[in-house]
Chain A
Amino acid sequence: MRTFHFIFCWFLFVNGVFAQNLITQDSVDTDKHYFPIAVGVSFNSNNFHSGIRLSVEKIHEINRHDKYRADSVYKTKYGVKFINYNFLYNRDKDFNTSFSLGADYGMRRVKKKGRMKELVVGLGITKTFLTKAAFTVENNQVKQKSLPGNLYGNANIMAGFGKDYSFTKSIPLKWHIRAGANILFPYGSFIMPYFAMDMGIVYRIKAKPFAVKYTIKDNLN
C-alpha cells in the first residue's frame, strides 16, 4: 500500500511542477516551433526483451540561452524541461509479459541544429503476467490461477541523445536513443535492478505554445 501512496505522490508532484510553471510564467514567446504536447512511440528493450512504449510528452519550460562571442558569432542552446506519461509493454516468452504506467520528469539540452542530450527520471507501476501456467496447492487441492503475475513499483533513470527537428526545420518530430537503469520493487527480498534501452520518435501534435514558460537568457548584460 505504501508503494501506491509513494507513486500517487509522485504523480501529484510532477503535475504540481507543471501547473506551477503555467501560473508563474513571466516571459511568453509565441514561437510556433514549440508545442507542449507530443505523442511518441518507442522500441523499448528491458534486459533485451523487446517492447513498445507509448508516451505523451508535455513540455512545460523552455529556456533559450544565447551566447555571443567576441567574433560576433552567437550560439543558441535550449534547455527544455518536460514530463512524459508512459504506457510500456514488454514481453519475454520465458519470463513474463509486463505492462507499466509511469511518469518521467526530463531535462533536455538542444543545440541550434537540433542535436540534443537528455536525462530522464521516472516512477511508475508495473503489472506482470506470467507466460506459463501457475498452480497453487492449498488444503491438498491443486488450483490453476487465472492471469498469474505480480504488481511492482518501478523507478528508472535514463540518459540519451537524439535530434529535434522542430528547432531547425519546423518539423514537429524528434528521435531519441536512451539507455539507463531501472529497478522493480519490492522484488524478492528487496529490489531487482536491470537495464533498459529506448529508441523512439516523438511527434508533436498539439500547438499550444502559450502554455509553455519560455525565457530568453543571454550574456549581453
Chain B
Amino acid sequence: MKKYSLLFLLITLFASCKKEVDFSLKQNANEQFYLKDGRSNMPVKVQGNTASKVFILVIHGGPGGEAITTYNGDITAELKKRYGVVFWDQRNAGNTQGAKGEKLSVSTYVNDLEKLIFLLKNKYGDDNKYFLYGHSWGGMLTSSYLIKGDNQKNIAGWIEVDGVHNWPLNDVLTRNMIDSIGTIEMANNRNANDWKEMVDFCRKLKLPTDLINSSKLNKYAFKAETLMKDSIAQEAGFQFGNRSMANISSSFAHSTFMGFNSGLFNELTVATNSPQLAKITVPSVFLWGRYDFVVPQGMMVDAFYTVNSTYKEAWTFTYSGHSPMYNQTKVFNETVINFIEKVR
C-alpha cells in the first residue's frame, strides 16, 4: 500500500506542477509560452520593451514559415528597444509541436490569431496597443482577421509588409513583373538563360491558374529576386546562431510536408480579400520592396486605395525585395517606429 501511495503522490506532484510565466510589463521582457489549440502547441515569444504598452505581433509568412528566429535578431532589435514584440509560430509551422488536428483553412489560422490576441490581452492587459505586422502570407492572415466581425477593435494598427491579400491578383502581378523585368534583363544580356526559362513560362501561363502553376510561379518569383541581387541591399543576415536543431527539424518538417494540406493551398489559389478590405478602418502602413517579385507592389496599391483607414501610409524600399526588413533594416524599422508613434 505504501508503494501505491508514494506512486500516487509522485504522479499528483508531477501533474500539479505548472510552469510560471512572468506577464508583468517591463523594459526587457523575454518570455515564452504556448498557445494550445487541439493537438497543436504553438510557441509564443514575447521580447522587448513591454513597459511601453505597445505590442507588435509578428505574423510570419509561408504558410509554414517561422517567426521566433526568422524575424528575430538584428531585424527587430530596434523595435524591441521601444516596444514589446510578439513572435508567434503558427500551427503547422516553425516550432509548433503536435499533429494537424483538423483540415486546415484560412479560417483556422484566423481563429488561432483571435485566440492569441485574447490571450495577450488577458495576460498583459486590455489597455495595451496591439499592432499586427504581417509579412507575405501573413498579409492574407492579418487582412482576413481584420475584416472578420469586430476584430478591428482589438488592434491599434496594421503593418503590412509585402503581404498578399488577393492570390489570383498576385499571380497576375508576379507573371507580369517577371515578364517585363526579365525582358529588360535579357536585352542587357544579364543571366539571359535563367530569365528566358521564366519569361517563356510566364508568357504561356493562362490565368487564373491551378495550384501547380501558381506554386511554380512563386518559385520563379523567388529565383527572379536572387537574379536581381546586385540591385538589392542586404543589411541584416539570417540569424543561424539562434536556431536549434530541433527548430530546424521542426521547421523543415512543417515546410516540406505543408503540401499535404492541399485543402489549404487549393483554398489559397482562389482566395481574395480585396472587396472586403474597404471594411478596414484601423490605421495602416504598407511597406514594400521595389524588387519584390513574390508579392509585387501592385498588391500594395490595391490595398492602399481600398482600405478606409483613418490614417494610412505606403512606402516602397528602393533596394529591397520580398523582405525589406532584411534588405534595408535601418530605414525599414524607422518607418515602422514613425508609424506607430503617429497612431498609438
> Which A residues form the contact surface with B (CB < 8 A)?
47-49, 92, 94-96, 128, 130-137, 140, 142, 144-150, 152, 186-194
What 3 A-B pairs have minimum CB-CB distances, sorted nearest first?
A47-B245, A134-B34, A190-B257
How distant is the Cα of A88 from the Cα of B138 in the complex, in angstroms? 38
A130 near B41 with CB under 8 A, answer yes
In-complex Cβ contact of A135 among B32, B100, B119, B257 (8 A): B119
Contact B92 A189 (CB under 8 A): yes
List residues 203-259 of chain B with CB under 8 A from any CB of chain A: 244-250, 252-254, 257-259
Q: A132, B97: Cβ atoms under 8 Å?
A: no
Taking CB atoms, residues of chain B closer than 8 Å to A186 are 99-100
Contact-size category for B: 35 or more
Q: A92-B244, A128-B97, A186-B99 are in contact. Are A150 and B39 (CB under 8 A)?
A: yes
Using CB atoms, name the residue of chain A closest to B36: A134
**B115's closest neighbor in chain A, by CB?**
A137
Q: How far is the CA of A130 from the CA of B96 in the complex (A)?
A: 11
CB distance from B162 to the nearest CB of A (A): 25
Beyond A146-B18, A191-B253, A192-B253, is A94–B244 a contact (Cβ under 8 Å)?
Answer: yes
Contact A148 B34 (CB under 8 A): yes
Inter-chain contact B244/A135, CB cutoff 8 Å? no
Q: B85 within 8 Å of A by Cβ?
A: no
Which residues of chain B from 24 to 45 have a CB within 8 Å of any chain A CB? 32-37, 39, 41, 43
Tell me the B residues contacting A by CB distance below 8 Å.
Answer: 14-21, 32-37, 39, 41, 43, 92, 95-100, 115, 118-119, 122-123, 244-250, 252-254, 257-261
CA distance A5 to B257 in the complex (A): 24
Bound-complex Cα distance A48 to B95 (A): 16
B-side contacts of A131, CB under 8 Å: 19
A8 to B22, CA, bound (A): 42
Q: Are A188 and B33 in contact (CB under 8 A)?
A: no
Task: Check A142 against B118 for contact (C-beta < 8 Å).
Answer: yes
CB pair A136–B37 under 8 Å, yes or no, is yes
Given A132-B32, A146-B15, are A188 and B122 neighbors across the interface (CB < 8 Å)?
no
User: What separation, in Å, do the CA atoms of A95 and B252 have in the docked complex?
Assistant: 15
CA distance A20 to B90 in the complex (A): 49
Query: Which A residues are in CB contact (< 8 Å) with B14?
Result: 147
With both beta carbons as reference points, the residue of chain A lying nearest to B121 in the complex is identified as: A142
Q: Which residue of A lies closest to B249 (CB)?
A: A194
Question: Which residue on B lies nearest to A133, using beta carbons?
Answer: B19
